[in-house]
């Protein structure tokens, strides 16, 4: 007999079905044993009576989180005994046969609450149990629905989803790279991508014009509260598009997401609020202001675009200029001498996407003028020879006919955490790491075998 899901049972009254799942809870009323059986679709009440002696005796052993399979007849619950709080609350199953598939010891953490009260390190150590929690299961299903809608929306807009490499080149910009030793090329390294930035620009050179990817971004950053070594972003790039067209597309996508998946939420203003970086800093002292009309209303979503960022920012600790976004951003001026002489006055075609006081995305138009790009890297402290060496592939590619292009990357983890009212992005990621980048469940990072290190010509200095 094929397996039936709990959610299907209300339409199968009078029929014999097979259910499989976990013992969610057990109640004994007199001689009758009631079990709430949980599967991925919900809960069904199943009933054991002494009429079937062997099955009943077996049921008497059942404890929470045991995995079982049962067959029996679906019937309506007695009048007055219905549970209107769950979709299967009008039916129950009279069990005819029971198979115990797996027993469970007492769980090290409870899973019948929201889980906020439990030590987070313990939750992460037993994440596979933590994910049995209703709240987290629902968060991940919502995440699935969001990503699915993003794909559907962009497909209709003419975008092509293309995967880019996870083993790439370490380049001197942005955050610190995760390095991967190359066994077959001794002394050389791959880097894990901080973003698909260069690859997506190469896809524009290749003529795809509209690219997107649900991309993994990996950054070896110092521990910082609500950050992750790896996060997921909706990454897209468009050729022949203005800044306005990119922002309009982003707005239409997120309005569609909210209306279809979060209909209970109210967007503060459509079109989304827009202001320059200068206006935001002067008025709100922040480049990611919380623009909700009522900050106590958890259902209010104040989206905003912040535009016209400075091209450069002075890094006091390093005593040099840094890129406000990244070096490939197009300055709002083509006078090379002015860029070189007045870096503090140069604005960029850069924009951030903000929600309720959090930055949830950012992007820019890209520089296609190689002379300007070279000057930008020089201002950032790189020597001409170093630039040409590190970005040889980039400079070579751009002489073969490059379209004007730009893009944006939106953080899926942060968007979901804000919309779902979660205190951390760890609550919307299946297997997150701690603030200092440890996976407590898998005990990562970990030491590796000395033989592996020898193969890579690596020596660990204690």
Q: 452, 181 in Cβ contact below 8 A?
A: no
Return the percent helix, strand and coil in the chain, to nearest 5. 30, 30, 45
- Tell me the CA distances in angstroms from 363 to 173, 250, 344, one per residue in order: 16, 11, 20
Q: Which CATH superfamily is domain 6-102 in?
A: Nucleic acid-binding proteins (2.40.50.140)
Compute the half-sphere exposure of residue 307: CA atoms within 13 Å on the CB side of its CA. Answer: 13
Of the candidates 437, 412, 446, which has an alpha carbon nearest to the alpha carbon of residue 214? 412
Domain covering 125-309+348-368+403-451: architecture: 2-Layer Sandwich (3.30)
Q: Which two tokens stand for residue 190?
A: 């791959």
Q: Tokens 């190689």 label which residue?
A: 370
Distance of CA 291 to the CA centre of its chain: 24
The residues, any chain, with a CB within 8 Å of residue 5's CB and separated by 6 or more, are 19, 39, 40, 41, 42
Whether the ω angle into residue 445 lies within 30 degrees of 0, i.e. cis, is: yes
| pLDDT per residue of the chain (462 residues) written in tens, 0 to 9 | 899 999 999 999 999 999 999 999 999 998 999 999 999 999 999 999 999 999 999 999 999 999 999 999 999 999 999 999 999 999 999 999 999 999 999 999 999 999 999 999 999 999 999 999 999 999 999 999 999 999 999 999 999 999 999 999 987 666 789 999 999 999 999 999 999 999 999 999 999 999 999 999 999 988 777 889 999 999 999 999 999 999 999 999 999 999 999 999 999 999 999 999 999 999 999 999 999 999 999 999 999 999 999 999 988 877 889 888 888 999 999 899 999 999 999 999 999 999 999 999 999 999 999 999 999 989 988 888 888 788 888 889 999 999 999 999 999 999 999 999 999 999 999 999 998 899 999 999 999 999 999 999 998 888
Tell me how long the chain is: 462
Q: Which two tokens stand for residue 162?
A: 């293309």
DSSP class per residue in 322-337: EESS-TTBPBS---HH
Looking at residue 428, its pLDDT comes to 98
d(CA 365, CA 348): 8
Q: 6, 88 in Cβ contact below 8 A?
A: yes
Looking at residue 173, its pLDDT comes to 60
The residues, any chain, with a CB within 8 Å of residue 152's CB and separated by 6 or more, are none
**How many other CB atoms are there within 10 angstroms of residue 285's CB atom?**
8
3-state class of 156 per DSSP? helix
Domain extent listing, the chain: 6-102, 125-309+348-368+403-451
Strand partners, 58: none
Q: Tokens 């790189």 label which residue?
A: 382
Question: Do the two domains 6-102 and 125-309+348-368+403-451 of this chain adopt the same fold?
Answer: no
**DSSP-H helix ranges across 180-325:** 197-205, 243-261, 277-284
Looking at residue 172, its pLDDT comes to 64
């Amino acid at each position: 007999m094929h397996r039936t899901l709990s959610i299907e049972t209300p339409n199968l009254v009078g029929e014999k079905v097979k259910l499989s799942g976990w013992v969610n809870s057990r109640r004994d009323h007199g001689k009758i044993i009631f079990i709430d059986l949980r599967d991925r679709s919900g809960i069904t009440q199943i009933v054991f009576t002494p009429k079937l002696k062997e099955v009943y005796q077996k049921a008497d052993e059942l404890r929470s989180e045991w995995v079982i399979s049962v067959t029996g007849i679906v019937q309506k619950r007695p009048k007055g005994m219905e549970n209107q709080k769950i979709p299967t609350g009008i039916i129950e199953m009279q069990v005819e046969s029971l198979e115990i598939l797996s027993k469970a010891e007492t769980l090290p953490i409870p899973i019948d609450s929201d889980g906020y009260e439990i030590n987070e390190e313990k939750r992460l150590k037993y994440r596979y149990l933590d994910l049995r929690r209703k709240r987290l299961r629902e968060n991940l299903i919502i995440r699935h629905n969001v990503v699915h809608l993003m794909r559907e929306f962009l497909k209709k807009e003419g975008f092509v989803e293309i995967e880019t490499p996870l083993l790439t080149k370490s380049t001197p910009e942005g955050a610190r790279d995760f390095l991967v030793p190359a066994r077959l090329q001794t002394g050389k390294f791959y880097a894990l991508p901080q973003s698909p930035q260069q690859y997506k620009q190469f896809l524009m050179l290749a003529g795809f014009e509209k690219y997107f990817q649900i991309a993994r971004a990996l950054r070896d950053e110092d521990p910082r509260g609500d950050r992750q070594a790896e996060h997921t972003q909706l990454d897209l790039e468009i050729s022949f598009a203005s800044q306005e067209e990119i922002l309009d597309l982003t707005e239409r996508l997120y309005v569609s997401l909210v209306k279809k998946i979060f209909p209970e939420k109210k967007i503060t203003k459509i079109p989304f609020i827009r202001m320059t970086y200068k206006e935001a800093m002067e008025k709100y002292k922040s480049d990611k202001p919380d623009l909700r009309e009522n900050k106590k209303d958890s259902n209010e979503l104040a989206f905003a675009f912040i535009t016209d960022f400075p091209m450069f920012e002075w890094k006091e600790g390093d005593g040099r200029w840094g890129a406000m976004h990244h070096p490939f951003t197009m300055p709002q001026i083509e006078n090379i001498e002015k860029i070189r002489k007045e870096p503090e006055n140069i604005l960029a075609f850069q924009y951030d996407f903000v929600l309720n006081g959090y930055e949830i995305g950012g992007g820019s138009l890209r520089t296609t003028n190689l002379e300007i790009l070279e000057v930008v890297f020089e201002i950032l402290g790189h020597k001409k020879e170093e630039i040409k060496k590190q970005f040889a592939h980039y400079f070579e590619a751009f002489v073969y006919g490059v379209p004007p292009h730009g893009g944006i990357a939106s953080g899926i983890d942060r968007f979901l955490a804000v919309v779902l009212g979660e205190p951390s992005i760890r609550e919307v990621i299946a297997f997150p790491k701690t603030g200092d980048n440890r996976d407590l469940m898998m005990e990562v990072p970990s030491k590796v075998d000395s033989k592996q290190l020898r193969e890579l010509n690596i020596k660990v200095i204690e």
